[in-house]
A and B are shown apart, each in its own frame.
Chain A
Amino acid sequence: MLRIVLSRTLPRISGISNCQYSAAAIPVPSAQPEVHYNKLFINNEWQDAVSKRSFPTINPATGEVICQVAEADKADVDKAVKAAREAFRFGSPWRRMDASDRGLLLSRLADAIERDTAYLAELETLDNGKPYAVSYSVDVPMVVKCLRYYAGWADKWEGKTIPIDGDFFCYTRHEPIGVCGQIIPWNFPLLMQAWKLGPALATGNTVVMKVAEQTPLTALYVASLIKEVGFPPGVVNILPGMGPSAGSAIASHMDVDKVAFTGSTEVGHLIQQASGSSNLKKVTLELGGKSPNIIMSDANMAEAVEQSHFALFFNQGQCCCAGSRTYVQDTIYDEFMERSVARAKSRVVGDPFNMKTEQGPQVDEEQFKKILGYISSGKREGAKLMCGGGVAADRGYFIQPTIFGDVQDGMTIAREEIFGPVMQILKFKTLEEVVERANDTKYGLAAAVFTKDIDKAHYISSGLRAGTVWINCYDVFGAQAPFGGYKYSGNGRELGEYGLDNYTEVKTVTIKVPQKNS
């Protein structure tokens, strides 16, 4: 993502899209943005938790508390669901609104977010630790694009008329599902919020969203913009809270019609189970990955090294689609390794508000410790530590960019999702072998292949069991292109037109006619 956006530093049409910034155009950030909102957002109003409890949100670059945030639990979820249900009532302003006006509201939300790009980027960096240059030029512009994209769909989500047998006239209506629970992660707080809200609102649903406890701040600010641009009360409700309490309450709620979750595969199982033991709510899941990135010997070496580096280290390695199994063909293995290590060593780790920083801290202590544990297991199981391998600063949750060579498919670091700046490089000989090994995982989120040979590109891209395959590129996202996983990596697709399906009930209406004619 980073590369795609930053590479377009020479906008072909000046000023047409704010997604095309050169680094020079990024305004100097404030490292201490003011926090305006720290309560629950229900029915377009700010509310304390019923329990009156709150929790601290931490700046991962320093380990210091930023502020306290109201902590939603089951009672708050009930309140939010009531508000969302009322907003979804037949005859409500939201239900009666022209689809084009729903689109206009989403478009206005995009405008408001674009207006506040600098502030939102500062807040995102403060709360999540990602480099400000990235928040500003990747996360926020992609949010704006996603919302604008779905704004356009609102009045284009067309049903069909269907030539059924007999003297009948048949048509379909694409209706919203109803109250949608949405649970989003901490790695791209703003962007995941937009990915969830865009399609749900374009299709006319109402939303109860739980944001990650590590990163609630930007979502709450966006809530204020949702109210500002004129969404009716109850259409979007935003609850900061913990998974086992608020998240679980949403997943097992009897009056939530659909739940969409992005996070770990482990919790994905719980969500699916909760649906089964409550009201069979529709479930879409976007879960973990252990995505293979295959480098053929005929690839452009410099490009493949840089892209593979980006594929793994982007966002401190905290990407579900991270290219965390880099398969390199044996004839170029040594050179690839050498260049990759040089690149990782040159990676700038430090204060995320510094414009030169490429890598900030991991999101919290739990993740930090977990990653260090994986690094130890790699050493223990006999992988060759090529660089990094330890803590990168004396405070905050910084980890050195780490590369393991001679990684075997059976090692823990080759099987489990690390979600940190730890790159595994594996050696392969043949095309058939690498496809088989790449697919030998429970995950199936993303994959990539680097080659100049069109036949190899086709063979591998057809053979890989993954929801997204990139050829000679990595992490290229567009709001227009669907994203989601095979196998344990999830269920359903987000983004693109496909994203609309997951927020729609199709109703078939059949009318008796006196006589049918073609």
Chain B
Amino acid sequence: MITYLCHLLNPLRSSDMVRFLLTSSVLLLCLSVIWGDQIFIDNEWHESCSGRKMPVHNPATGDLLCEVEEADTEDVDKAVQSARAAFQLGSPWRCMDASDRGLLLNRLADLVERDRLRLATLEALDSGKIFLMAYFVDLMATVKTLRYYGGWADKIQGKTIPVDGEYFTYTRHEPIGVCGQIIPWNFPVMMFAWKVAPALCCGNTVIIKPAEQTPLTALHMACLIKEAGFPPGVVNVLPGYGPTAGSAIAHHMDIDKIAFTGSTAVGKLIQKAAGDSNLKRVTLELGGKNPNIVFADCDLEYAVEQAHSGLFFNQGQCCLAGSRVFVEDSIYEEFVCRSAEKARNKVLGNPLVPGVDQGPQIDQKQFDKILELIESGKKEGATLECGGGPWNRNSLFIQPTVFSNVTDDMRIAREEIFGPVQQIMRFRSVNEVIQRANATHYGLAAGVFTNDIDKALTVSSALQAGMVWVNCYNAMSTQCPFGGFKMSGNGRELGEYALQEYTEVKAVTIKISQKNS
């Protein structure tokens, strides 16, 4: 992503294109950009059964954007009924040609492309992320993901299998059924696409709960899903809170599968809920404390830049953030110095304004947590190279912060901070750094910077992580699987691998009179 971004953004920075985009987006602000503020069930808009609404804020200003209907258990029940009806044998969705499911996903991609500016604006307003990032990274990835899975729909192939005896056996890859999906606030629309695209491509029906902080783009997507022509009940979008609506989904006896992206703590609750209820299938994409290992033989300037964006991208609010930068002894001082300089040069401000690199954190809770971890770093003896506090009083901005001389036992080296705080550690040997990099409960992603092919292969084999980037970071693409080892999760999203998470394999065996090869 980042690679793609740098590629695109640098030449664009001062171009007319950017000015055009921003003028248009400001213009749109004056108009109403919010298309949906209710619960989307059975292709219809509903008020919440409880009559409750929840406020949605712009984290950059603290302003109230709007109020959105708040889903709870009863609404989840309604949605499950609708998703179950849409999944009935003989329903339009079940009878549809796979290629037509693919066509619907492609049409949805076309509509997202049409509304790209609107969606990017909404995303920037609602999540505080930099508008240009939303436009070029989040929306691009959303469109690509939808198209990618559009292509898979009629390529999910079963097998015929040469079993022993006078039998003929084949497999059918069938959809699992009603899938609950709970997505986070850091990449709202992109996570929406990552979840619904493989689920729909395989023929499932979906109940998706966007984060309470960022429900707006998901509701806009609901409008587009209806417009594209998905049958009623295939996708239901329920804005709501985790302990109520989220928990109702996780515990529901008539939901066949749940996919969750969020914190490891909540991931455990989801897994338990599945065990307590109906043993629904569970896939989890959770936290990380990802090592990014920089060897002395790398291209230093490039490694500094990649390690910087690997951490600070999206205000540090990435499960993938390279939050433990291990730097080889001989280049350590130089690396720290350049990294701090880079962090100091970051421009904070209104995410809609061009030239701004970093927006606000998502909400007060995250803001307080990050500051508390920064304080712990100072207290436990790490060297504060820059930043270290809030920026602009009475707001949710945090100064880009770099700690050096971080040791592995400090809290900032062990806990996921999910903010603009970079930890830089020192290492001497390959074996040492492998052992230290793996000494964590997490295992989501990792990076290695070196020009030595042997080091690259050794370290990338040894790291316990679902993704290893060599001489790059955050290089993600819809074709490539994504997911965690250890407590970073369960299962894979994206790529062909994700299809497995949304299919049940049925082996059909038929007695035949005589077998021949």
A contact set with B: CB distance below 8 Å: 12-13, 15-17, 99-100, 103-104, 107, 145, 148-149, 151-156, 158, 169, 454-455, 458-459, 462-463, 479-480, 497, 511, 513-517
Residues of A within 8 A of B148 (CB): 100, 155-156
Contact partner of A497 (CB less than 8 A), chosen from B100, B157, B457, is B157
The verdict on B483 contacting chain A, using a C-beta distance below 8 Å, is no
CA distance A149 to B462 in the complex (A): 39
Shortest CB–CB separation between residue B162 and chain A, in angstroms?
Answer: 12
The verdict on B335 contacting chain A, using a C-beta distance below 8 Å, is no
Contact partner of A514 (CB less than 8 A), chosen from B95, B457, B514, is B457
The 6 closest A-B pairs by CB, nearest first: A152-B151, A458-B512, A455-B513, A513-B457, A16-B100, A12-B92
- Binary contact readout B85-113 vs A (1 if CB under 8 angstroms, 0 otherwise): 00000001001111110111010000000
CA distance A514 to B457 in the complex (A): 8
- Binary contact readout B187-205 vs A (1 if CB under 8 angstroms, 0 otherwise): 0000000000000000000
User: Which of A15, A17, A479: most chain B Cβ within 10 A?
Assistant: A17
**A13/B231 contact (C-beta < 8 A), A149-B154, A156-B479, A497-B155 known:** yes
Q: Are A16 and B102 in contact (CB under 8 A)?
A: no
- Binary contact readout B437-461 vs A (1 if CB under 8 angstroms, 0 otherwise): 0000000000000000110011001
Chain B, interface size: which category? 35 or more
Give the nearest-CB partner of B151 in chain A.
Answer: A152
Shortest CB–CB separation between residue A84 and chain B, in angstroms?
Answer: 26
Residues of A within 8 A of B514 (CB): 459
Give the nearest-CB partner of A158 in chain B.
Answer: B496
25 pairs from A and B in contact (CB 8 Å cutoff)? A12-B92, A13-B104, A17-B97, A17-B100, A17-B103, A99-B479, A100-B147, A100-B479, A107-B106, A148-B99, A148-B106, A149-B99, A151-B151, A152-B102, A154-B151, A155-B478, A156-B479, A458-B510, A463-B516, A480-B98, A480-B99, A480-B157, A513-B454, A514-B454, A514-B458
Q: Are B151 and A103 in contact (CB under 8 A)?
A: yes
The verdict on B381 contacting chain A, using a C-beta distance below 8 Å, is no
CA distance A334 to B436 in the complex (A): 84
**A458/B453 contact (C-beta < 8 A), A103-B151, A148-B102, A497-B155 known:** no
Shortest CB–CB separation between residue B164 and chain A, in angstroms?
Answer: 16
CA distance A149 to B157 in the complex (A): 14
Give the nearest-CB partner of B201 in chain A.
Answer: A152
CA distance A155 to B148 in the complex (A): 8
Give the nearest-CB partner of A155 in chain B.
Answer: B479
Q: Are B151 and A517 in contact (CB under 8 A)?
A: no
Shortest CB–CB separation between residue B8 and chain A, in angstroms?
Answer: 13
Q: Are A152 and B154 in contact (CB under 8 A)?
A: yes
Give the nearest-CB partner of A202 in chain B.
Answer: B151
The verdict on B360 contacting chain A, using a C-beta distance below 8 Å, is no
Q: Are A145 and B151 in contact (CB under 8 A)?
A: no
The verdict on B403 contacting chain A, using a C-beta distance below 8 Å, is no
Q: Are A17 and B454 in contact (CB under 8 A)?
A: no
The verdict on B388 contacting chain A, using a C-beta distance below 8 Å, is no
Residues of A within 8 A of B473 (CB): none
Residues of A within 8 A of B157 (CB): 480, 497
Shortest CB–CB separation between residue A105 and chain B, in angstroms?
Answer: 12
Residues of A within 8 A of B97 (CB): 17
Residues of B within 8 A of A479 (CB): 99, 154
Contact partner of A13 (CB less than 8 A), chosen from B96, B478, B515, is B96
Q: Are A13 and B513 in contact (CB under 8 A)?
A: no
Contact partner of B168 (CB less than 8 A), chosen from A16, A148, A458, is A458
The verdict on B226 contacting chain A, using a C-beta distance below 8 Å, is no
Give the nearest-CB partner of B460 in chain A.
Answer: A169
**A16/B229 contact (C-beta < 8 A), A107-B106, A152-B155, A458-B512 known:** yes
**A459/B155 contact (C-beta < 8 A), A15-B229, A156-B479, A513-B454 known:** no
Contact partner of B496 (CB less than 8 A), chosen from A148, A156, A511, A515, is A156
Residues of B within 8 A of A13 (CB): 92, 96, 100, 104, 229, 231
Shortest CB–CB separation between residue B479 and chain A, in angstroms?
Answer: 5
User: Which of A99, A155, A516: most chain B Cβ within 10 A?
Assistant: A155
Residues of B within 8 A of A16 (CB): 96, 100, 103-104, 229
Q: Are A511 and B152 in contact (CB under 8 A)?
A: no
Give the nearest-CB partner of B228 in chain A.
Answer: A16
Residues of B within 8 A of A145 (CB): 99
Give the nearest-CB partner of A18 in chain B.
Answer: B103
Give the nearest-CB partner of A154 in chain B.
Answer: B151
Apart from A16-B104, A152-B150, what are 6 other A-B pairs with CB-CB below 8 Å?
A: A16-B96, A148-B103, A152-B154, A153-B151, A459-B512, A513-B458
Give the nearest-CB partner of A99 in chain B.
Answer: B479
Residues of A within 8 A of B151 (CB): 103, 151-156
Contact partner of B147 (CB less than 8 A), chosen from A104, A458, A517, is A104
**A17/B147 contact (C-beta < 8 A), A155-B479, A459-B513 known:** no
Shortest CB–CB separation between residue B107 and chain A, in angstroms?
Answer: 9
Shortest CB–CB separation between residue A6 and chain B, in angstroms?
Answer: 15
Shortest CB–CB separation between residue B371 and chain A, in angstroms?
Answer: 41
